[in-house]
Amino acid sequence: MGYVSLLILVLLTTLSGLGMEEYLKANVENRMVRRVTQSQQALYVAEGGIEWAKAHLLVNPELRQGSLSLATGRVNVVIEPIEGGYKVTAQGHTGLAIRKIEELLQLNDGKWVMTSYQELHR
C-alpha cells in the first residue's frame, strides 16, 4: 500500500510540474503578443501624429510642435521647416512601446507629398 501512495504522489507531482510549465509558456507567449501589439499601436499613433501635423500645417504654417492623446496612446510631434517643405517627426507611445517616425513633406497644389519616410531607432 505504501508503494501505491508513493507512486500516486510522484505521478501527481510530475503532472503538476508539467501543468505549471505549460502555464508559464502560455504566460510568456501572451506577454510577447501584447508587446508586439503595443509596438504596432505605437507606430499607428505616430502615423496619426504625422496626419495631425499635415492638417494643422495647412491652417497654420508656423506650427512647430504639438502633442495629441488618443484612445490607444499619445504622440509628440516636432515640425522643422526645411527647404521646400517640412520635416515632421512623430513619437508614438502605447503602453511601454515607443515608435518614432520622420517624414519629409512638400505642399504641391494644396496636397501634401511625402518625399521621405523612415522609422527612427534609438
Q: What is the band of 8 on the pLDDT scale with cuts at 50, 70, 90?
A: confident
Q: Which of 20, 43, 23 is nearest to 31 (CA)?
A: 23
Yes or no: say if 45 and 59 are a contact pair by the CB < 8 Å rule.
Answer: no
pLDDT tens per residue, range 20-66: 998 888 888 988 999 999 999 999 999 999 999 999 998 888 889 99
Yes or no: say if 83 and 77 are a contact pair by the CB < 8 Å rule.
Answer: no
Q: What is the band of 122 on the pLDDT scale with cuts at 50, 70, 90?
A: low
Yes or no: say if 101 and 87 are a contact pair by the CB < 8 Å rule.
Answer: no
Domains, the chain, ordered by start: 2-120 (3.30.1300.30)
Beta bridge partners of 75: 68, 92
Give the integer Cα–Cα distance in Å for 27 and 108. 50
Give the integer Cα–Cα distance in Å for 82 and 67. 21
Tell me the pTM.
0.77
Q: What is the band of 9 on the pLDDT scale with cuts at 50, 70, 90?
A: confident
Give the integer Cα–Cα distance in Å for 48 and 64. 16
Residue 118 parent element (H or E): strand 111-120
